């Protein structure tokens, strides 16, 4: 996973950091999916291939945020968490 930082201009434009532009071409269409505090950006050409997965990810993220805001998350040691995760 790569992480980059960018700034929104007064016109709402953002610059994709140079190191993250691999595989992107000038003028290429991008899709933005906003889910509460997250924005997911995908190439429009990938939309049909991954739309179902992206929408499910957005739905699960939204559900997790609501659960977190209600205080429903619990804290546990990393080894126990990994065991629980392996059961899924």
| pLDDT tens readout for residues 18-76 | 888 888 989 888 888 887 788 888 888 776 667 778 778 888 888 988 888 898 988 88
Lookup: tokens for 86: 């392996």
pTM of the full structure: 0.46
Cβ pair 40, 32 in contact under 8 A: yes
């Amino acid at each position: 996973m790569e992480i980059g930082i960018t700034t929104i201009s007064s016109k709402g434009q953002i610059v994709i950091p140079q190191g993250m532009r691999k595989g992107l071409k000038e003028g290429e269409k991008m899709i933005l999916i906003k889910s509460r505090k997250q924005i997911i950006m995908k190439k429009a050409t990938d939309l049909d291939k991954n739309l179902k997965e992206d929408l499910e990810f957005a739905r699960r993220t939204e559900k997790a945020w609501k659960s977190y805001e209600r205080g429903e998350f619990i804290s546990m040691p990393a080894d126990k968490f990994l065991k629980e995760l392996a059961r899924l």
